A and B are shown apart, each in its own frame.
Chain A
Amino acid sequence: AQKITQTQPGMFVQEKEAVTLDCTYDTSDQSYGLFWYKQPSSGEMIFLIYQGSYDEQNATEGRYSLNFQKARKSANLVISASQLGDSAMYFCAMREKAGAGSYQLTFGKGTKLSVIP
Chain B
Amino acid sequence: SAVISQKPSRDICQRGTSLTIQCQVDSQVTMMFWYRQQPGQSLTLIATANQGSEATYESGFVIDKFPISRPNLTFSTLTVSNMSPEDSSIYLCSVDYRDTGELFFGEGSRLTVL
CB distance from B66 to the nearest CB of A (A): 17
The contact size tier of chain A is 20 to 34
Out of A45, A102, A103, A105, name the residue touching B108 (CB < 8 Å): A45
CB distance from A38 to the nearest CB of B (A): 11
A43 touches B90 (CB 8 A): yes
Q: How far is the CA of A42 from the CA of B42 in the complex (A)?
A: 15
Q: Does A68 belong to the interface (CB within 8 Å)?
A: no
Q: How far is the CA of A103 from the CA of B110 in the complex (A)?
A: 26
B45 touches A44 (CB 8 A): no
In the complex, which residues of chain B have a beta carbon less than 8 angstroms from the beta carbon of A50? 100, 102
Chain B residues within CB distance 8 Å of chain A:
1, 31, 33, 41-45, 48, 90, 92, 94, 100-108, 110
**Those 5 A-B pairs whose CB atoms lie nearest each other, nearest first:** A45-B105, A95-B101, A43-B108, A107-B43, A107-B42
